[in-house]
Amino acid sequence: MTKKLIIQVAPFGSNTLHENTPNLPNLGKRTPYLPITPEEVAEEALRSYNAGASLCHIHARDKVSMLATPDIKVWGEVVARIREKCPIIIEAGGGIGAWVNLETWQIINASEDQMLNLLNIKPEPDMLTVNMGTFDMSIGKYGFATFRNSPPFQRAAIKGIKERGWGMELEIWDISHLYNTMSLCEEGIFDKNEVFHLDYPLGVAGGQPATAKQLMYISEEGKKMFPNAKWQALGIGKDEFPMITMAMLLGADSVRVGLEDNIYISHGELAKSNAELVEKAVRIARELDFEIATVEEAREMLHLKKK
């Protein structure tokens, strides 16, 4: 039987910059095609859904600074606007992201309390991500951002997800994060044999490298440790399509593309929409004899309730 593949789209994230982002030189890649407002994100979600995406990974941005915001009212507006447009599964990016104080140029990281407050988004998303370890992400000339994700935070986040009946995606930035996850299972926070989503980001500065060897190793370890988990991979920048192709060959249940991770459709050519990136992922998947999962099939694969 042909394997079903979930295509996840990450439309805008927190570090990619719109070309009109004010007063912020050279923090990240810039593109004129990045959605910022909830309405723009919803339009991108609709186009991506029509192109084959069944899962949308969201963040939220301040309309004035165009940078990440922890304001759950804005997050809720993103959820509401997407739901008005299409039935795509909505996943909130639990790390929120880093932003910059425009007066001091100091990098500001979301606190663990701000991340836990995402459990109060209304209307509710379908899923929430949890980063399974603390790590330092390099941010160009501004140095680095430390993404703190302590065990007490992880316990609270996962318990909150379960209390609400949401799906969880656990972000594995290096191999130690798999073992952090197993430690929580051994504490009884959740069952290692249950169905949940594992995500392997590759090529993030400060995280694991985007190599075939690394993806083979970490995905095999994940399958041994969590036999019923669904897993996906993503690659940053030029590594996006090589890594998702490798993930397909290794039997991934899901792959992720989007302007959060990569702004180019090919070398030197900007993607004009997230849908272009989804369409390319769909073409690769079909060449490898995958069937693209519908929203209903993705919900069944991930054991998600319908909102």
pLDDT score at 64? 86
- Distance between CA atoms of 199 and 207, rounded to whole angstroms? 13
Residue 79 counted as domain residue: yes
- Distance between CA atoms of 39 and 37, rounded to whole angstroms? 5
CB atoms within 10 A of CB 205: 11
Residue 307 counted as domain residue: no
User: Given CA atoms 85, 88, 89, 94 in this order, what sign does their dihedral have?
Assistant: negative
> Beta strand 264-266 with 197-202: parallel, antiparallel or unpaired?
unpaired
pLDDT score at 144? 67
Residue 41 counted as domain residue: yes
Q: Which residues of the chain have pLDDT under 70?
A: 1, 23-28, 102, 105, 138-144
User: Given CA atoms 296, 51, 249, 92 in this order, what sign does their dihedral have?
Assistant: negative
- Distance between CA atoms of 159 and 150, rounded to whole angstroms? 14
What is the tally of structural domains in the chain? 1
- Give the range of the structural domain holding residue 116, as residue numbers without chain letter: 4-302
State pTM to two decimals: 0.96
pLDDT score at 231? 99
Residue 283 counted as domain residue: yes
pLDDT score at 109? 85
* Residue appearing with tokens 């804005």: 74
> Beta strand 197-202 with 230-235: parallel, antiparallel or unpaired?
parallel
pLDDT score at 22? 73
pLDDT score at 147? 85
Specify the CATH number for the domain of residue 236. Answer: 3.20.20.70
Residue 87's identity, in one-letter code, is P
> What are the backbone dihedrals phi and psi of residue 253, each rounded to the nearest 5 degrees, phi first?
-90, -20
Residue 139 counted as domain residue: yes
Residue 184 counted as domain residue: yes
* Residue appearing with tokens 């995958």: 290
Residue 88 counted as domain residue: yes
